[in-house]
């Protein structure tokens, strides 16, 4: 007689299936044509590069914070997050990386990469307040990033070719190999 699967193996199977579904959703091509590509990126559809293990962990953790409230200076989900607080929190929790400071401070670290080389978990920086590197988000793949903007009041996903952000994009940086 076959024994029933243990709760631990059932939970592991459900977690594996959920991860596969999330990653499959990240790999789905957008149905609408892009408005504008990243500066320096080819005009054709740029396929997402495979992420590192830490990059995947960072991207998945970022997705778990969707709809978390915005708070200027916020550094944890229960109090609310601003963009740099969100990045610091996620990198600490998901990859055990200590990143701190403002978006501009974070922009000074890591390794600069060409926007066409963005992978899940990399950081994207924008000039949103007439100050260089005043906003940061975490790249997910397929031209999308997670960020904590004050205007919508919650952590959410935005496309890199969004007219507002495409014209304000400044740099991409990675902390992963």
Catalytic residues: 83, 135, 147
CB distance 69 to 153 below 8 Å? yes
CB distance 86 to 94 below 8 Å? no
C-alpha span between 85 and 148 (Å, rounded): 9
Place of tokens 């998945």: 60
Query: For the chain, where are the E strands, in sequence order?
Result: 75-76, 80-81, 111-113, 123-126, 135-141, 144-147, 156-159, 169-174
Cβ neighbours around 111 below 10 Å, total:
11
């Amino acid at each position: 007689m076959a024994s029933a699967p243990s709760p631990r193996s059932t939970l592991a199977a459900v977690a594996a299936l959920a991860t596969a579904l999330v990653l499959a959703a990240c790999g789905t091509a957008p149905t609408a044509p892009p408005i504008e590509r990243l500066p320096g990126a080819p005009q054709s559809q740029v396929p997402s590069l495979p992420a590192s293990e830490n990059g995947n962990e960072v991207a998945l953790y970022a997705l778990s914070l969707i709809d978390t409230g915005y708070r200027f200076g916020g550094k944890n989900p229960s109090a609310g997050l601003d963009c740099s607080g969100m990045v610091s929190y996620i990198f600490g929790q998901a990859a055990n990386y200590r990143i701190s400071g403002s978006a501009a401070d974070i922009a000074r670290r890591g390794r600069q990469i060409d926007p066409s080389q963005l992978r899940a978990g990399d950081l994207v920086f924008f000039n949103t307040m007439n100050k260089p590197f005043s906003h940061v988000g975490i790249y997910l793949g397929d031209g999308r990033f997670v960020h904590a903007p004050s205007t919508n009041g919650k952590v959410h996903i935005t496309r890199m070719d969004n007219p507002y952000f495409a014209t304000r994009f400044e740099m991409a940086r990675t902390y992963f190999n």
